[in-house]
Copies of this chain bind each other. A is one copy, B any other.
Amino acid sequence: MRHAVRSLCTAFVGTCLLAAWAAAAPRARDLGVPFDGTPGPLNAITDVAGVLVGHTTLISGSGKLKVGQGPIRTGVTAVLPRGRDSLLDPVFAAWFSQNGNGEMTGTAWIEESGFLEGPVMITNTHSVGVVRDATIQWRVAHGTADAAGYFWSLPVVAETWDGWLNDVNGFHVKPEHVFHALDTAHAGAVEEGSVGGGTGMICNGYKGGIGTASRRLDGKDGGYTVGVLVQCNYGTRDNLRIAGINVGREIPAPEPYVFIPSDLAEHGSIIVVVATDAPLLAHQLKRLARRVTLGLGRNGSISGNESGDIFIAFSTANPGAATEGHVADLKMLPNDSLDPVFRATVEATEEAVVNAMVAAHDMVGVDDHRVIALPHEQLQAVLKKYNRLANVN
Contact = CB atoms under 8 A, between A and B. Distances in A.
Contacts of A142: none
A104 B112 CA distance: 13
A108 B298 contact: no
Nearest to A105: B105
Interface stretch (A197-205, A206-214, A288-296): A288-296
Contacts of A144: none
B342 A304 contact: yes
Contact of A114 (B105, B239, B281): B281
The secondary-structure label for the interface of chain A is mixed
Determine how many copies of this chain the complex contains.
4
Interface in A16-46: 36
A308 B154 CA distance: 11
A305 interface: yes
B106 A103 contact: yes
A125 interface: yes
A151 interface: yes
B263 A108 contact: no
B263 A148 contact: yes
A222 B147 CA distance: 20
Nearest to A317: B327
A388 interface: yes
Contacts of A300: 298
Interface in A349-393: 385-388
A241 B104 CA distance: 32
Contact of A133 (B115, B126, B328): B126
B338 A305 contact: yes
Contacts of A330: 329-332
Contacts of A132: 128-129, 132
A88 to B, nearest CB: 14
A100 to B, nearest CB: 3
Contacts of A112: 97, 99-101, 283, 287
A259 interface: no
A267 interface: yes
A279 B332 contact: no
Nearest to A137: B171
Contacts of A8: none
Contact of A328 (B150, B306, B332): B332
A324 B328 contact: no
A297 to B, nearest CB: 2
Contact of A129 (B107, B128, B147, B297): B128
A86 interface: no
Contacts of A385: 387
Contacts of A9: none
Given A109-B102, A244-B244, A283-B283, A322 B303 contact: no
Interface of A: 36, 97-115, 125-134, 136-137, 140, 147-148, 150-154, 157, 161, 163, 169, 171, 222, 239, 241, 243-246, 261, 263-264, 266-267, 279, 281-284, 287, 290-291, 293-298, 300-306, 308, 310, 321-339, 342-343, 346, 385-388
Given A137-B169, A294-B296, 16 more contacts: A97-B111, A98-B290, A100-B113, A105-B128, A108-B308, A115-B335, A128-B129, A136-B169, A148-B263, A241-B244, A290-B303, A322-B334, A327-B331, A330-B330, A330-B331, A330-B332
